[in-house]
């Protein structure tokens, strides 16, 4: 079988992937604890891959990015994103 693949030049690279942790001041659910509870990557298209730490570790992909993730897991400001890569703003 022959495959003829070409690079699609119409897709532009918007940003490098960037690493982060989710930091919790208060554990409102009583499940994930406090401190750095998950680690993740925001990909160049805005998609987020998140790996929960702890006993019930799991990996989740958020197609709608950090806004969607924080809408579910932000707990009214009890969870913040701490960027790990140098030169990135805290959020």
Please give the pLDDT value at position 41. 97
Please give the pLDDT value at position 8. 46
Q: What tens digit of pLDDT does each residue of 37-66 get?
A: 999 999 999 999 999 998 889 999 999 999
| CA distance readout (Å), 9 to 2, 6, 19, 20, 45 | 22, 9, 26, 29, 15
Full-model pTM = 0.73
Please give the pLDDT value at position 79. 87
pLDDT of 22 strictly over 90:
yes
**CB neighbours of residue 5 within 10 Å:** 5
**CB neighbours of residue 50 within 10 Å:** 20
């Amino acid at each position: 079988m022959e495959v003829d693949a070409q690079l699609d030049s119409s897709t532009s690279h918007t940003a490098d992937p960037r690493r982060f942790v989710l930091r919790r001041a208060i554990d409102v659910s009583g499940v994930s604890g406090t401190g750095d509870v998950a680690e993740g990557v925001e990909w160049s298209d805005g998609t987020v891959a998140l790996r929960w730490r702890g006993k019930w570790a799991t990996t989740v992909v958020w197609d709608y990015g950090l806004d969607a993730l924080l809408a579910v897991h932000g707990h009214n400001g009890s969870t913040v994103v701490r960027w790990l890569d140098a030169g990135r703003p805290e959020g």
